[in-house]
Amino acid sequence: MAKLSHINADGEAQMVDISAKSVSQRIATAAAVLKMAPRTLAMIVDGEIPKGDVFAVARVAGIQAAKRTSDLIPLCHPLALTNIGIEFESRNDDELHILSTASVNGQTGVEMEALTAATVAALTVYDMCKAVQKDIKIADICLLSKSGGKSGVWQAP
Domain boundaries, the chain: 24-148
Active-site residue identified among 46, 53, 71, 127: 127
> How far apart are alpha carbons 89 and 136 in whole angstroms?
16
**pLDDT, tens digit, 9 for 90 and up, residues 119-143:** 999 999 999 999 999 999 999 999 9
127 catalytic per annotation: yes
pLDDT band at 3 (very low <50, low <70, confident <90, very high): low
Q: Which of 130, 114, 119, 105 is nearest to 49 (CA)?
A: 130
Would you say domain 24-148 falls under CATH 1.10.30.50? no
H and E: helices and strands count for the chain: 4, 5
**pLDDT, tens digit, 9 for 90 and up, residues 28-59:** 999 999 999 999 999 999 999 999 999 999 99
> How far apart are alpha carbons 28 and 72 in whole angstroms?
18
